[in-house]
Structure 1
Amino acid sequence: MALALVHTRAGLGLEAPEVLVEVHLANGLPGMTLVGLPETAVRESRERVRSALTNAGFDFPTTRRITVNLAPADLPKEGGRFDLPIALGILAASEQIPVASLESVECLGELALDGRLRPVSGVLPAALAARRAERTLLLPEDNADEAALAEGLTVQAAGHLSEVVAHLLGQATLPAHTLTAPTPSRAPLADLAEVRGQHQARRALEVAAAGGHNLLFAGPPGTGKTMLASRLPGILPPLSADEALEVASVRSVCGLDLLAQWGQRPFRSPHHTASGAALVGGGSRPRPGEISLAHHGVLFLDELPQFDRGVLEVMREPLESGEIHIARASRQRRFPARFQLVAAMNPCPCGHLGDPRQACVCTPAQIQRYQSRLSGPLLDRIDLQVEVPALPPDQLTRDTRGESSATVRERVLAARERQLARGHLNARLPGAALEAACALPEAERVWLAEVLTRLKLSARAYHRVLRVALTLADLAGASRPERPQLMEAIGYRQLDRLRGGGESSA
């Protein structure tokens, strides 16, 4: 036998395309050649594989020409995951193991110089792809728990190359690795009862949780904007099994622990100095950014105007589509980004515009420049824009607690059940379905048109108002929005009202 084929999966983000490792032995100048767009770490596998085979007691064909082809040829290959498939391909081509033993198996893993198997990143997407292909996955022990999250996949794990070879020769059997279904993380979440006052902001937070709406808090420093935002995960429903796998897949690609926060919705809060690549993903070898790490969870951007405007603008498309496409000269990647945006900002550079505790020292031009860092199209995509005023001292010192997160979550879950009966959360309900669900009478349409004209709201903002009003109706148990829900929804477009220069009759 001079040719052997081994199946594996490429570590290319959340996509795990199959790579066929072809190993051919031929007479000629001794040496080993890798072809198929291998990057540096893959090319260096020649020395790792050679040393691992020798130190594990196997014969390395030193007198023949070894050609390793990683097909498809136009797919860039990266990482150390190809070490194990290449080693097994050499052993099969040199007839040290039977080729037939590799037909229904996919392999991945990095080799140490002594033959030990080392873990690699991005195993969960590869495991899900192997399950769809109905193949057994053979990989390092340290990756076994992660791969076993793909229920229905046969996972066999080993700690050393010799264990893998013994299994393929039938001399020993690697048992199928099983993982008890992980339980949702019980890490304590911040409770909404700890927030004093700020009734409108609390209400907006509940509406955002119920309908999946984006939310912006604006107010002076120290009014509780960050405190409120950090309470949102505590009133959201737990992740479903499919959602938990999607979240874990992103974390797997990024090399993060999968089980520490299993079942909890992500809460990401990048610093305002984050670059565009850090926020939405990118790099020469594209990797997920913060918006993908917040998939099915919350992305909190504090000090929103301090972010580079160009960085914020790249979020506009993912906010609508729920995914991000990253294109480079030699490769393209698609990452999920179905996140809920919560942001906080001061009203002016000094932070005290409208603050009764301290006078603002900013000029009108400074305030205009500061607020203009947020473009109209970006604000249009934020359904709820709420002012968070400074609380009087008597409310701060009063020993009263608001509703707990558990109480609010019950109402959120009930409202979401009504929305899921329509097929989508209100924040993502298609336009035609949104109009049908609202079914506004003619008088309400005329009134709403007058208000929108006065506030100079865009068509997108109009639909955002309808979405929020529908969520308010769901929270109230009503079949469709009425005038009170429409008035409250318009009241949550406070930054639009400032930009439009008008006051609503609502």
Structure 2
Amino acid sequence: MSIARVQSLCLTPDGIRPCTARAQIQGGLPLTRLLNRGRNAASLRERIRSVIKGAGYRYPSGRVTLDIELARGGRLDDGHALPLALAVLLASDQITTAAGAQHTWFGELNLDGSLLPLDPDLVLACGNLQNLAGGTGAPHFLASLRQLDPTPMTATAPAPSAPSLMPGWPTELATWVLSGGHSTLVYGEPGVGKSGWSHGLCAHWPESPRVRARRAGKRLFASTPGVSDPWRLPVGANARQLAHWQHLQRGHVVALDDLPLHSQGLRDALPERMDLEPQTATLATANPCPCGWLGSPRKACRCNPATRRRWQRQLPPPLIDRFDLVARYEYGEAGPRPIDMRPIRTSWVRQQQRQGCLNAQLTCAGLNDVPGLGQSMTRALRLHGNRLGLSGRAQLKCALVARTLADLAGRDAICEDDLQTAIGLRASPHEG
């Protein structure tokens, strides 16, 4: 009798968690038993037999007992065929211990023994789970069961490049948004690249390795139909899908393109959802009017006043107040320019060392709770806010944005210039 054990990972509602696959081979009549029960147990047992033979190995004759310890909430699926097949090959001495037991294996097998390509986000997430895997080695990627010298998983996923953004104002705005993890509403004329700009920010949103691993696992465990990007909620989604997607993206960001075109139920639920999920930022884009040319210097708006009023009702003030920044995306004539991530990462470090989270995730009951906002700056913010008609929530958002601007400049205290810039980022889309 021989027993082998292989470390693996499984998808659960809480993300990616470690699991252990075991195989025991005994003498006797040919029989394969899988101790785990489930609707996929029978097909998984046959898949293991097929992939071992398809890869050119010998399926052991005798009694084969298979077992896999799933994490809480994990489910048995075809992805567990890889660790179970490796456990069988180890128990039958067809591969060496160094090739199987010293690594953490994760993937889905074809019937010929090759592995299907993994999702890039999942590859990076698994590569960050060395402490969670519980094995003696880091997670690795295997191209085929015939390959006994696996290559690191992180080598299969290229590092993302800096987002290509328009020069000038959009690039500065991107720096401010990324530095503090702020929820942002950008509006502007059609075709200037608002959606591409917001998606570039989503791809570089600040997150810890643990958050990235949990988010990737959740997204693959329970995906939302019709969603092509891991952060983008398509037009037509309802309030329930919004709540579901915010839960999947907790600690990251959700993108809503053309916010006025989303359903009324989603827009009504969005303010409450943003209050309930402060750890999840929201990036939204919108046109200032149905034709999109309100306030544009290049083309006159052709909407009548009644049409514009109906459009403005799609973005009520309580919804706009939930965003930290509300800015117009201006048209740029020059070519794209990559954003410099070095000061942004330095700002992330300052915020984590000071408060353990990003500025946008701070829970502040009032202006006095904002770090670095002295009494004089508090009075100045209230004076400007009351003169401009800003609500108390909008003034608090301005203070948090000013805190981010001070972190970018390397200052502990918020100055007057930070407040003026933050207040200027509360432009109403209703004014064009």
Question: Please, what TM-score do these two structures have when normalized by structure 2?
Answer: 0.67
The equivalent position to 1:192 in structure 2, one of 167, 170, 187, is 167
Q: Does 1:440 find its partner at 2:383?
A: no
Q: Does 1:380 find its partner at 2:343?
A: no
Quick one: which amino acid aligns to residue 159 of structure 1? S
Is the Cα contact below 8 Å between 2:12 and 2:72 reproduced in 1? no
Deviations 1:159-191 (A, max 9, x none): 336x6xxxxxxxxxx446458978755678244
Is the Cα contact below 8 Å between 1:36 and 1:76 reproduced in 2? no
In the alignment, which residue of structure 1 is the partner of 2:21? Answer: 21
Please, which runs of 5 or more residues in structure 2 have no aligned partner? 221-228
In the alignment, which residue of structure 2 is the partner of 1:81? Answer: 79
Quick one: which amino acid aligns to residue 308 of structure 1? S
Is the Cα contact below 8 Å between 1:280 and 1:315 reproduced in 2? no
Deviations 1:94-135 (A, max 9, x none): x66699887655444544445x24246445545544554552
Larger radius of gyration between Structure 1 and Structure 2: 1
Structure with bigger RCO (C-alpha 8 Å, 6+ apart): 2
The verdict on how the C-alpha distance between 1:413 and 1:248 changes in structure 2, with shifts beyond 3 A counting, is: closer
Deviation of residue 378 (structure 1)? 3.9
In the alignment, which residue of structure 2 is the partner of 1:463? Answer: 396
The verdict on how the C-alpha distance between 1:492 and 1:239 changes in structure 2, with shifts beyond 3 A counting, is: closer
The verdict on how the C-alpha distance between 1:202 and 1:362 changes in structure 2, with shifts beyond 3 A counting, is: farther
Distance 2:335 2:6 in 1: 61
Quick one: which amino acid aligns to residue 347 of structure 1? P
Is the Cα contact below 8 Å between 1:156 and 1:175 reproduced in 2? no
Distance 2:145 2:43 in 1: 20
Quick one: which amino acid aligns to residue 306 of structure 1? L
Is the Cα contact below 8 Å between 1:192 and 1:228 reproduced in 2? no
The equivalent position to 2:145 in structure 1, one of 160, 184, 189, is 160
Deviation of residue 53 (structure 1)? 4.2
Distance 1:472 1:70 in 2: 50
Distance 1:409 1:87 in 2: 43
Deviation of residue 425 (structure 1)? 4.4
The equivalent position to 1:492 in structure 2, one of 417, 425, 432, is 425
Deviations 1:426-446 (A, max 9, x none): 3344538953411122xx545
The verdict on how the C-alpha distance between 1:299 and 1:245 changes in structure 2, with shifts beyond 3 A counting, is: same
Q: Does 1:118 find its partner at 2:115?
A: yes
Deviations 1:74-94 (A, max 9, x none): 64424323223333445667x
In the alignment, which residue of structure 2 is the partner of 1:504? Answer: none
In the alignment, which residue of structure 2 is the partner of 1:503? Answer: none
Distance 1:228 1:154 in 2: 33
Deviations 1:356-413 (A, max 9, x none): 753553454x544433334555423311223468x8xxxx9xxx8699666x878767
Deviations 1:204-249 (A, max 9, x none): 5554355443332334446x46289369759x9x899x85896588
Deviation of residue 303 (structure 1)? 1.8
1:344-493 equivalences under 5 Å are 344-353=285-294, 357-364=299-306, 366-374=307-315, 376=317, 378-387=319-328, 422-423=354-355, 425-429=358-362, 431=364, 435-441=370-376, 445-446=378-379, 448-449=381-382, 452=385, 457-473=390-406, 480-483=413-416, 485-493=418-426
1:267-346 equivalences under 5 Å are 271-273=234-236, 291=249, 301-311=256-266, 313=269, 317=273, 321=277, 341-346=282-287
Aligned length: 412
Distance 1:123 1:413 in 2: 23
Please, which runs of 5 or more residues in structure 1 have no aligned partner? 138-152, 164-173, 194-198, 256-265, 324-336, 499-506
The equivalent position to 1:229 in structure 2, one of 197, 202, 214, is 197
Deviation of residue 470 (structure 1)? 3.1
Q: Does 1:213 find its partner at 2:182?
A: yes
Q: Secondary structure at the match of 1:358?
A: coil
In the alignment, which residue of structure 1 is the partner of 2:50? Answer: 51
Deviation of residue 192 (structure 1)? 0.6
Distance 1:17 1:185 in 2: 25
Is the Cα contact below 8 Å between 1:219 and 1:388 reproduced in 2? yes
The verdict on how the C-alpha distance between 1:478 and 1:358 changes in structure 2, with shifts beyond 3 A counting, is: same
Of 98-107 and 9-18, more deviation after overlay is shown by: 98-107
The verdict on how the C-alpha distance between 1:209 and 1:267 changes in structure 2, with shifts beyond 3 A counting, is: farther
Distance 2:180 2:43 in 1: 51
In the alignment, which residue of structure 2 is the partner of 1:36? Answer: 36
Deviation of residue 304 (structure 1)? 1.7
Quick one: which amino acid aligns to residue 460 of structure 1? R
Distance 1:124 1:203 in 2: 29
Distance 2:379 2:218 in 1: 51
Distance 2:288 2:390 in 1: 20
Is the Cα contact below 8 Å between 2:19 and 2:71 reproduced in 1? no
Q: Secondary structure at the match of 1:118?
A: coil
Is the Cα contact below 8 Å between 1:124 and 1:249 reproduced in 2? no
Distance 1:180 1:103 in 2: 19
Deviation of residue 7 (structure 1)? 3.7
Is the Cα contact below 8 Å between 2:38 and 2:76 reproduced in 1? yes
The verdict on how the C-alpha distance between 1:213 and 1:402 changes in structure 2, with shifts beyond 3 A counting, is: farther
Deviations 1:269-314 (A, max 9, x none): 66534567877766xxxx996x57xx76x76543221123444546
In the alignment, which residue of structure 2 is the partner of 1:327? Answer: none
TM-align CA RMSD: 5.3
